[in-house]
A = this chain, B = another copy of it.
Amino acid sequence: MNRSLPLIEEKGTLIQDAAELVSSYPRTALTVDCVIFGFEENELKVLLIRSDLQAYHGLWTLLGDVVHSNEELGDAAYRVLRERTGLKNIFLEEVQTFSTPDRHPGGRVVTAAYYSLINIRHHQLRRLDNEVHWHNLKTIQQMGFDHKMILDVCYQRLQRRIQEHPLGFNLLPDKFSLRELQNLYEAILDIKLDRRNFRKKFFSMDFLIDTEEYEVDVPHRPGKLYKFNFEKYQKNQKKWFGIDF
């Protein structure tokens, strides 16, 4: 960061003291908001909380918090996730900032949006959180603040990412059938996929571990259950998916 133009005035009074410089900067309220995705009953779901602001009475909003003065934004987002879902080590990606000056009725609040993918069955709502619920993504209309826009942008990011990286496994139970996997991809991408080609593709990636177990309590021929080979994925991700990640 360097100060704005014009520089010439600064030349005479070159600020030697970094602390003095920083203390002269305008200060902004800074938050993170998390789009927490889950998958259940063949529907992509999002965890939302009822707004605690009168201005948005009754509207649902993303889970978020102010950023503490000694933590990174990503850590703040992890903290929100941990506090709200009890889960650790979950997939989390920063998407972008939202900073229109009037986006919060109480004044200037800049937020950084993250999305995460969790296994909805591992998540236990805390008793205190009776204002927190899962919502079917497709039925969400209006939200508080600019959160519908944040949700839309994060969902688009997920749609793009999942076509290049096998992120979907984060949303599934430990063991899953290929039909469940396909249902997940069809729900996220909102398209129909060819069953045979879908299976061929995932088998050829070689990330699936055959558990030798089968579905139970299904009213038809049960499918085989697989696990996702996270270790192999982490080792091979460069080979499969390019430079970073």
Contact = CB atoms under 8 A, between A and B. Distances in A.
A20 B29 CA distance: 12
A31 interface: yes
Nearest to A4: B65
A156 interface: yes
A26 B67 contact: yes
Interface in A92-116: 94, 96-97, 99-101, 104-112
B97 A112 contact: yes
Contact of A63 (B2, B68, B145): B2
A110 B30 contact: yes
A169 to B, nearest CB: 22
Contact of A25 (B19, B100, B109): B109
A141 to B, nearest CB: 19
A29 B31 contact: no
Given A55-B18, A104-B22, A244 B99 contact: no
A10 interface: yes
A99 B77 CA distance: 12
A28 interface: yes
Interface of A: 1-8, 10, 14-23, 25-31, 33, 49, 51-55, 61-74, 79-80, 83-84, 94, 96-97, 99-101, 104-112, 126, 128-129, 131, 145, 156, 159-160, 242-244
Given A1-B104, A4-B80, A160-B242, 10 more contacts: A2-B63, A2-B64, A6-B128, A7-B128, A20-B106, A22-B107, A22-B109, A26-B30, A28-B69, A160-B244
